Amino acid sequence: MNKFESIIITENVPLSDKNSFGTGGNARFFAEPTSATTFVQALQFAQNHNLEVFVLGGGANILISDNGFNGLVIRPALTEFTVTNSIENKIESKSHDNTVLVKAGAGISIDSLIQQCLKHHILGLEEFSGIPGNVGGAVYINLHYYEFLLEHFLVSATLIHKFSCEIITVDKNWFNFGYDESKLQEKEYFVIDATFKLKQTSDPLAVAFAQGRSVEIIRHRHKRYPYENTCGSFFRNFHPQEVANTEKKLIFVAYYLDQLGVKGSLSIGKAIVSHQHANMIVAHPGATSSDIINLTKLMQRMVYEKYKIIPQPECQLIGFDINPFL
């Protein structure tokens, strides 16, 4: 760490261009630390000015209040990418194990990480191709795509404590991962970097296959889901006990919304339910977070009136004094 580094804090910074919905107000203060040193400085600034802190990743899976965030928004810009135990080193040591460790800074986007891995003939993470967000946010939510969970690849991570600014290294077990869950959601620690256990190959055909797999996954996602001005699935799926009294006992929120015919037609203001997926909301130009809130509350009421269950949003709410949903 360079002790001469100094964090730059800016004021009244728009957040609408820093999240997937493209809505929301301004951050009172904003910082983009590029190292652990400047991350510490940003947190200390917040403590010195008695400010609430929100760490912003790629801006996916969040909804920001139209009033903005009256505190310090930290968007990590740590972009380290290092590979240990590479094939070249193993050839010298006559090792036949093709496992490598990839350390990635919290600010690297998932797609950029995948491309850097493929460039170094490292395979595994391509299953997450096309998913918005960055490394820090991916660890926070335990990124998933079908049966693939980020926890399957994570080995360890470097974290910083929100108040003490202590920097620690933890292994995978520390996170207590679940589906869309991790201990990071207690918001006491933030990710500086994460280390993944992956496979490196010298077979050009295997690399070409992985690259093609990445392209196909992205094509499939774009065909099946909206990929602009949306946070992805807005409501979490139901827990089994929540649907115990429904006719089919299905946990999938999209099923109930499909039955109500909201897809591509239900809208409020500039927010509309996607024509591709009933559990995804698209914010057209000019949309506000209030449009999205009012639309989702209408969807909640419609599901409740017919099925007596209330879908709950899974996105993070930023800058709201109270939960605006049912």
- Which residue has tokens 């991570």? 157
Structural domains in the chain plus CATH codes: 9-74 (3.30.43.10), 81-224 (3.30.465.10), 240-318 (3.90.78.10)
Name the pTM for this structure: 0.90
How many Å apart are CA 71 and CA 171, to the nearest integer?
A: 31
DSSP letter assigned to residue 133 = S
* CA within 13 Å, CB half, 70: 4
Tokens of 181: 């869950």
How many Å apart are CA 300 and CA 62, to the nearest integer?
A: 18
Residue 311 three-state SS: coil
| Residues 85/42, Cβ–Cβ less than 8 Å | no
Give the gyration radius of the chain's Cα atoms. 21
Q: 167-171 and 154-161 as β-strands: parallel, antiparallel, unpaired? A: antiparallel
Contact residues for 72 (Cβ-Cβ < 8 A; gap 6+): 9, 27, 28, 29, 30, 31, 42, 45, 46, 49, 51, 52, 53, 54
Tokens of 258: 């499909």
Residue 140 three-state SS: helix
Residue 225 three-state SS: coil
How many Å apart are CA 74 and CA 162, to the nearest integer?
A: 12
Q: Average pLDDT across each block of 10 residues of the chain; the chain has 326 residues. List them in order.
A: 76 97 98 97 97 95 96 97 72 63 97 97 96 94 90 97 97 94 96 97 95 94 86 91 90 96 97 96 97 98 96 94 90
Q: What are 31's strand-pairing partners?
A: 9, 74
Tokens of 104: 């990635």
Tokens of 124: 């595994």
Closest CA to 318 of 165, 144, 187, 184: 187
CB atoms within 10 A of CB 173: 9
Tokens of 295: 């639309």
- Provide the terminal-to-terminal Cα distance of the chain, rounded to the nearest Å: 46
**78, 80, 81, 85: CA torsion to nearest 10:** -130
